[in-house]
Amino acid sequence: MITIPETDLVVHELCLGTNVFGWSADEAQSHAVLDAYRAHGGNFVDTADMYSAWKEGNVGGESETIIGKWMKKNGNRDQMVVATKVAKLPTRPGLSPANIIAACNDSLKRLQTDHIDIYYAHHDDQEVPIEESLGAFAQLIGEGKVRYIAASQYTGARLQLALDISARENLPSYIALQDQYNLVSRNPFETEQQPVLAANNISAIPFYGLARGFLSGKYREGKVVESVRAEGVKEFATPKGYAILALMDQIAEANNCSVSAVSLAWLRSNPNLSAPIASARTVEQLEEIVQVVDLDQSQIDALNAVSA
């Protein structure tokens, strides 16, 4: 277990992504994955009000509803750290104060809880002054509905600006950044965002830790994979991508762990990262990503070199 910097939140080393809940995993499958994650000591789930509005017939909020039912059924809300997001649900877009307040109340109902542990601005809404959005977050924190706030998909410069405004105006401050970061997509995180995190003693909680599944090892040269995410991994299916996988195979064998666990272990080796996010559609997939291993420095150096 680790403590997220600038908070008192103690979380498992894997944050369970739940964007597949209500999409490629139905409620029963999702609850089975949550049960398995909890059996491994997992306590940190990441969702959003927009999950999974993109599926035909869905309206958004399906993932939150599934999580809420699971926590209610198990009576374990106090044992969980729940992160959700505002700004991208088609019916609740943006970071205007009124929308933040309304969206939060909607999420609380779906999650069947009275508070959200980490509430993310899901994207940088540059049409709304940052201080106005932070003011709405301040109201929610004051009401006890939100414990901490964080930023998703902010550039390094915009994140620093938001942190500066928080300090100047005595407003709540973002305690983490969520963006894409993995062995096949190292920048702009390392070049632009990580220096801001280091300078402000806050951390990354990155998504796409497995590059939409490419770094799980199931995508191989010449192999066709039947998956709703298959189209999204084509950009990684390059000679460099396959070279990274080949090295990960060797490291996984040496550490007696899954290829997914190697990818997530490399992420955890970054001092400016707390817990990587990865999702699982099935219990079998969960078992692969929940393994926490420590790579030795030579393995980390080799992965850095092949993915540079």
> Annotated active-site positions, please?
51
Where are the strands (E) in the chain, listed by range?
2-3, 10-11, 15-17, 44-46, 81-86, 88-89, 92-93, 116-121, 146-152, 174-178, 203-204, 277-279
Query: Measured between alpha carbons, how far is 106 from 49 in angstroms, rounded to an integer?
Result: 8
Beta bridge partners of 87: 93
**Neighbour count for residue 26 (Cβ, 10 Å):** 13
For residues 215 and 184, the answer to whether their CB atoms sit within 8 Å is yes
Closest CA to 285 of 34, 91, 6, 7: 34
Residues 211 and 182: their CA atoms lie apart, in Å, by 6
Q: If residue 42 lies in a helix (H) or strand (E), which one and from where to where?
A: none
What whole-number distance in Å separates Cα of residue 197 and Cα of residue 207? 16
Q: Which residues lie closer than 8 Å to 251 by C-beta, 6 or more apart?
A: 262, 295, 299, 302, 303
